[in-house]
Amino acid sequence: MIFHIRATFATTKRILQQLSHDHRTLALIFVVPCLLMGLLSWLYVDNVKVFQSIAPSLLAIFPMVIMFLITSIATLRERTTGTLERILTMPIAKTDLIFGYGFAFGLLATLQAVIVATISLNWLGVDIQGPNELLILIAVVDALLGVALGLLASAFARTEFQAVQFMPAIIIPQLLLCGLLVPLSKMPDALESIARLLPMTYAVEAMQNITTQATTSSETWRDILTVIAWVVVAITLGSLTLRRRSK
């Protein structure tokens, strides 16, 4: 797959300029995850042990879910308004567009994950056995996964409402099977096998590992690399299935 640097970054610049004027979207990206973590901390103010056990895992989930919604809806809006069709009449490839979207939302996802993780570690009392830097890295990778899955979902949705409807199909099954509600080892064998095929499982598992282990294990890096592989696959599929317009 080949993309042209100038066209890709022109798309990235355009998307970032548009979002800079959308204060509600920026608040959803940067403020809401922090408020959710703050609410969680307040909810378990009298049960710190429970908070410490689930907060890192939710740091893997909140950015992913929010970036999935933002990316899928914003990208689909480009197509439904005819912007994408007009752009593709110019000498620009679909890969240039999809990577441009990916870089733009990826930058926002990275900043979001760094802010949420930093606030959680320094102000909300999240305490892990592993390196704090690794927690931030995992949060960033998980947010990028949300971007990649959002780009992929936008290629199949025809309306913004349909883009939102993809969340129960793509995100909620992963949330149920990721090991946060029930450990993988206690699931029926069939469900555990399905869970091992889903990226959120590895995102949560990586967070759980650094929560309880002072040293970084090979399993943690395996989980991180698995999520990164999913990011690459989802963006690639998104570029191959991108349509000019919704019909």
pLDDT digit string (tens) for 20-42?
998 999 998 999 999 999 999 99
Q: Is the pTM of this model over 0.75?
A: yes
pLDDT at 30: 93
pLDDT at 3: 54
Which residue type is seen at 25? Answer: T
pLDDT digit string (tens) for 216-231?
788 999 999 999 999 9
Nearest of 158, 134, 156, 143 to residue 105 by alpha carbon: 143
Cα–Cα distance, 129 to 122 (Å, whole number): 15
H/E element, 126: none
Please give the share of the chain, as a percent, with pLDDT higher than 90: 43
pLDDT digit string (tens) for 139-173?
999 999 999 999 888 878 777 788 888 888 899 99
pLDDT at 244: 53
pLDDT digit string (tens) for 99-121?
888 889 999 999 999 999 999 99
Average pLDDT over every residue of 89-93:
69
Average pLDDT over every residue of 228-245:
80
CA distances from 174 to 36, 143, 195 (A): 19, 15, 7
pLDDT at 9: 85
In this predicted structure, the answer to whether residue 236 has a pLDDT above a threshold of 90 is no
